[in-house]
Amino acid sequence: MADSVSAPLPAAEALRLAERARAAAGRPSRLPRWYGPTVAAGMVLFGAGVGVAIATGHAWFTGVLGGVWGLTSGAIGWAGVRSGGVMPKQAQPALIVPVLLAVLAVTAALLAGTGLAIWAGAGGAWAAQAGAVAGAVAFLLAGRGLNRRVERLRRAAG
């Protein structure tokens, strides 16, 4: 039993360890590796479903697919946060603008892909799929950019 009792830490050492723990808790974490590909694949599947619904004359089903995709992406996001993709409050001001720009870039890519496909004469099914693929690629690229920014913030925070 006596072997399991350790000597008390000196006050300076305890303060140093507490400061290191506080600094580590304040740093943002990278998104998990599986997060980007999972969301991108979901986008592509959602786009394919919307395309098929439109092509078969069941456009009403796109609302159902949107609800399912909303729930699924929420679950994926929850799992990402639970597995370490967390942004502490201290890091939020530094990442708000990049995250908003990433969301806008993905939306713009999705719309541009759909618009270009329609302009090229594609039907609804192909246009929806083209938009989903463009959005998925933009999402993967934006995720990589955000992870690079998080790494820079982590290095700067010590």
Per-residue pLDDT at 118 exceeds 70: yes
pLDDT band at 119 (very low <50, low <70, confident <90, very high): very high
Q: Helix axis angle, 35-55 relative to 124-157, nearest 10°? A: 160
**Which amino acid, 154?**
R
Residue 87 has pLDDT above 70, yes or no: no
pLDDT at 131 over 60: yes
Closest by CA to 46, choosing from 61, 30, 65, is 65
Question: Mean pLDDT across the stretch 124-140?
Answer: 86
Mean pLDDT of the chain: 78
**Selection from 101, 104, 108, 109 nearest residue 133 by Cα:** 109
State the Cα–Cα distance between residues 51 and 62, nearest whole angstrom.
9
Angle between helices 92-119 and 124-157 (to 10 degrees): 160
- In the predicted structure, residue 32 carries a pLDDT above the cut 80: no
What is the CA 38 to chain-centroid distance, rounded? 10
Confidence check: pLDDT of 132 > 70? yes
**What are the sequence ranges of the domains in the chain?**
28-157
Question: Over 60: is that where the pLDDT of 85 sits?
Answer: no
Instruction: State yes or no: pLDDT of 106 exceeds 70.
Output: yes
The rounded distance, in Å, linking the Cα atoms of 23 and 86 is 15
Q: Where are the alpha helices (DSSP H) in the chain?
A: 11-26, 35-55, 61-82, 92-119, 124-157
pLDDT value of position 120? 93
- Please tell me the pTM assigned to this model: 0.65
Whether 27 and 153 have beta carbons less than 8 Å apart is answered as yes
pLDDT band, very low/low/confident/very high, at 7 (cuts 50, 70, 90):
low
Q: What is the mean pLDDT of residues 136-146?
A: 87
Residue 107 has pLDDT above 60, yes or no: yes
